[in-house]
Amino acid sequence: MKFFIYLIFTFLMVTSNLFSQTKKRNFRQHEVGIMLGGSYYIGDLNPRKQFNLTQPAGGIFYRFTPNYRYAFRGGVNYGNIMGDDSQSEDEDQLQRNLNFKSRIIEFNAIAEFNFLEYRISNDKYKFTTYLFLGLDVFTFKPRAQMGNFWIDLQPLNTEGQSKRYRLTQMAIPFGLGLKMNVSKKVGIGLEWGPRKTFTDYLDDVSGTYPDPFATPFTTVNGVKLSDRSKNAGSNVNEQRGNPRTKDWYFFFGLTLNFKLSFVAPPCYAYDH
């Protein structure tokens, strides 16, 4: 959380500095690109480990660049996240014995701010590091493994919820990266981006163990998947997750982007 606050502060400071600069040449550049990399999550089944149980991920994006210092992009990312208490070294997690996986589909709108002036096809401005911040809408669908089958968790009310959590949510994507030119039309990059969510149910774990005799579980699987510990049935009202923290998911990887050819000539509205 401290890193998130620091990055937002830095982002705002950089933005303020950029808009105070009035002697930068504007131009118009349009790009399309792909991202290939990985996705992972941090939450109740993985409280701390970055890149733990990383799964393959990918995406496509469109970027509009009106200035050497900033750009705007929109895109779609697809990935999977997972967590497994049996992979932990923590005794409480080993005792809890829960697991999950979920696909993530994300639609995002993002602003980028370059630390150095950057433009594809210009050897003078061929490399930069950057920060980014935006908004996204994502869908998820947590499932747990039981034998050879993966079972949807949200319909089962595994914590005795009176109202099911929504499987479509909003998040705040932010992070950092670097990008560079490889030709007059092509650029490559490397990016790492946390997603700050507003749900604690990416993994279907948040609160306490419900009373199996007082909870209206929808199926027998709801009872089984609610408490998979070694002393199942004796944990009523004990802590199952940590409701004070929200879950996070992450995308990272390599980007390959192509400058579109219908770009208009540069506009020299400002001096160099």
Q: Any idea where the domains of the chain sit in the sequence? A: 2-19+28-259
Is 61's pLDDT higher than 60?
yes
User: Could you tell me the CA-to-CA distances from 79 to 58, 103, 258 in Å, in that order?
Assistant: 7, 6, 23
């303020």: which residue's tokens? 16
Rounded to whole angstroms, the Cα distance separating 185 from 206 reads: 48
> By the 8 A CB rule, do 242 and 43 touch?
no
2-19+28-259 CATH fold: Porin (2.40.160)
């991202």: which residue's tokens? 35
Is 41's pLDDT higher than 80?
yes
**pLDDT reported for residue 202:** 98
**pLDDT reported for residue 232:** 84
- Least trusted range by pLDDT, from 8-17, 22-31, 118-127, 226-235: 8-17
**pLDDT reported for residue 266:** 52
**pLDDT reported for residue 28:** 85
**pLDDT reported for residue 23:** 47
What mean pLDDT do residues 208-212 have? 89
User: Over pLDDT 70: what percentage of the chain?
Assistant: 85
**Non-local CB neighbours of 178 within 8 Å, separated by 6+ positions:** 127, 128, 129, 130, 189, 190, 191
What mean pLDDT do residues 230-246 have? 91
Between 23 and 85, name the one with better pLDDT.
85
Report the DSSP pairing between strands 186-197 and 248-259.
Answer: antiparallel
Distance separating the N- and C-terminal Cα atoms of the chain: 39
Is 7's pLDDT higher than 80?
no
